[in-house]
Structure 1
Amino acid sequence: MSEVNNLPLKERLKLWWEGYELHKVAKKVEVEPEPVHDDGPPTVHGWSLSRQRSVVTLFGVGMTRCIPDNVKARLTTPMGINKTMSVVELGSGLCGFSHWVVDQYETYITAYEEDADLVEAASTQTRMAGLSRNVRVEQCNFENFEPKPKSANAAYASEALFHVKNKQDCFNRIHEMMKPEGQFMMSDYMLDGSKADHPALQEWFGLEREVPHLHDVREIRRMLTKAGFEVSIAEDTTDEYKANVLKAFSEYAARTGRGEKSGHLHDWVLKEGELWTARVKAMEAGALKVFRIYARVPAQIL
């Protein structure tokens, strides 16, 4: 067996994702990069391969958003996920969160993602990680969400629905997807007394591929209740969220300062930084908040 195949699966996956030809790897420190893939100038509009690799550099293998493991735990632990449950992730990106849930809870996940490039890449990474039996990746449209009715015991979404225009219909469909006493946990960008025309929000909106459709947290609670959920938690996690984002970029800067080379991806990381800086500035201005909301389908009274 070659030295490459003796490497841990996670390390082989990381090497492949960073653009190395694994059959050429002789030792861990002797890797030969493939020619740079020309994705054109850096952009946060769309999910080219270079952008995918740049966010993984920032946020970890399989992650397109800043969701550290301790945050993943707080989003999932309250739902008591176990191997007997059917679980759904909404806005699964490259499926890093889904893979983590499988590793922690040995469960089965349907991972819904809108972007076709991310669906293709996530499917590939899921196969390479040997998790195809546990994670099924499906493309969807949250504006016209059509999941299988009563197919999930638990569902979670992290910064996945803020761009959805018709949130009430989306919440209705999520509720229809839940089994009796099903649980839904979401973390997302919301307003808390501010207005969508705030200058800091408008600056951020101008950088997004799709214009965010933000609602006040009270309105989100009302819509979830109207859909049939019972909402018991609405926690402001803005300060922690902001700190995690700043930490991710600070750690990247420290690694490059120690000589770690990111090649052409450095420009992509800088472009990504513009988007995240606008989000953080909106939070610092008090115009944007991040809330974690827990809702469940009430028990039926017979």
Structure 2
Amino acid sequence: MSRGDEGSEAGVADKPTLKSRFKAWWDGYDLEKVKPQLVLEEQERQQLEEDGPPTVKGWSVSRQKSVVTLFGEGMTRCIPDEMKTRMTQPMGLNKTMSVSELGGNLAGFARWVAETYETYVTNYDEDQTLIDAANEMTKMAGLQRNINSVHCDFDDFKPKERSANVVYASEALFHVKDKQKCFKAIHRMLRPEGQFMMSDFMLDGMGGDAPELDNWKQNEPLKPYLLDVQETRKLMTEAGFEVSIAENITDEYRLNVQRAFADYAKRTADGEKSGHLHDWILKEGELWMGRVKLMDAGHLKVFRVYARVPMQIK
């Protein structure tokens, strides 16, 4: 190999990857002017100063990066692709449908839906910081024509009526206080024979004020308002839905969370560098292991609920 060939290969190796370009965008750098490694070193130094100590309160850039490191591109919760498929495939999504996600955060799930089913997705979320980041990430993925992330308040949810064929939500509504009001708003936003798929933290045979939940509630970033699964079904029925599935997926969900952290530990042991994000990931681990501990004790459950708007009889 000639010296010229070596230089050519080095040039290719030095070319910024999509991941490094995205990191640079996220932190306000221009990779055309600054070497990638210098960018990464400078961004970590600045984030240590700007984000403060690790916390699960709010969505600083470091926390956003830590959950993406754990759960995958654009994901703030543990929803692997096989779970995304189980949530969406039964609803027969296709390019003719208008789809909405509730609490989609960085819109990783929404982008997966848009690419998998070639459909349009509106991502509703309560955190403006995540909405802004989601819109930028969607633009960088070239999916801005398929996905729109918008700010909302689920305790006073006012989506456009009959704007969606399908609505789905994953662990996004357990902190909503007035769930019946929210379910009614979801029902109004669905078109005739529209479908709603939800997975969320619920109870089974235990009241939401049970003392076993007290410590966990205090450590949650947002105050939980948990309902028994049968009470959830009742409220959805009263909102106008036909509820046909209420499946306990706690064991699968817990295993997925544990796998995500085990995978991170393995990658770290194999030499992957996480820098200052490691402490943030540990803090995130405390949050999730608290949830898993309650699941192990049988107090906290995860249910997948499927409902639809009944056919109108003329």
Select the residue among 90, 109, 120 that pairs with 1:108. Answer: 120
Select the residue among 232, 236, 253 that pairs with 2:265. Answer: 253
Partner residue, 2:54: 42
Partner residue, 1:282: 294
Mapped pair 1:149 → 2:161:
yes
Count of aligned residue pairs for this structure pair: 299
Cα contact 2:125–2:150 (8 A) shared by 1: yes
Mapped pair 1:66 → 2:78:
yes
Give the counterpart letter for 1:44 in structure 2: V
Quote the Cα distance in structure 1 between the aligned partners of 2:208 and 2:72. Answer: 31
Partner residue, 2:3: none
Give the counterpart letter for 1:35 in structure 2: Q
Give the counterpart letter for 2:116 in structure 1: Q
Give the counterpart letter for 1:281 in structure 2: K
127-136 or 147-156, larger mean C-alpha shift: 127-136
Secondary structure of 2:51's aligned partner = coil
Secondary structure of 1:35's aligned partner = helix
| Aligned CA distance change for structure 1 residues 31 and 199 (closer, same or farther; 3 Å) | farther
Give the counterpart letter for 1:136 in structure 2: N
Quote the Cα distance in structure 1 between the aligned partners of 2:56 and 2:201. Answer: 18
Give the C-alpha shift of residue 210 in structure 1.
1.8
Cα contact 1:13–1:129 (8 A) shared by 2: no
Cα contact 2:208–2:228 (8 A) shared by 1: no
Partner residue, 2:4: none
- Unaligned runs of 5+ residues in structure 2 are 1-10
Partner residue, 2:219: 207
Mapped pair 1:55 → 2:63:
no
Select the residue among 112, 130, 136 that pairs with 1:118. Answer: 130
Could you tell me the TM-score, scaled by structure 2's length? 0.89
CA deviations over 1:61-120 (Å, ceiling 9, x no partner): 100000000000000001100000000000011000000001100000110000111011
CA deviations over 1:244-297 (Å, ceiling 9, x no partner): 000000010111111111111000000001100100000001000000000000
Which structure has the bigger radius of gyration? Answer: 2
Give the C-alpha shift of residue 22 in structure 1.
3.5
- Unaligned runs of 5+ residues in structure 1 are none
Percent identity over paired residues: 61
168-177 or 15-24, larger mean C-alpha shift: 15-24
Could you tell me the TM-score, scaled by structure 1's length? 0.93
Quote the Cα distance in structure 2 between the aligned partners of 1:14 and 1:246. Answer: 27
Cα contact 1:17–1:53 (8 A) shared by 2: no
Partner residue, 2:245: 233
Give the C-alpha shift of residue 20 in structure 1.
7.7
Mapped pair 1:93 → 2:105:
yes
RMSD between aligned residues: 2.2
Cα contact 1:52–1:64 (8 A) shared by 2: yes
Give the C-alpha shift of residue 6 in structure 1.
7.7
Give the counterpart letter for 1:153 in structure 2: N
Secondary structure of 1:156's aligned partner = strand
| Higher helix content, 1 or 2 | 2
Quote the Cα distance in structure 2 between the aligned partners of 1:22 and 1:281. Answer: 43
Give the C-alpha shift of residue 202 in structure 1.
1.8
| Aligned CA distance change for structure 1 residues 75 and 10 (closer, same or farther; 3 Å) | farther
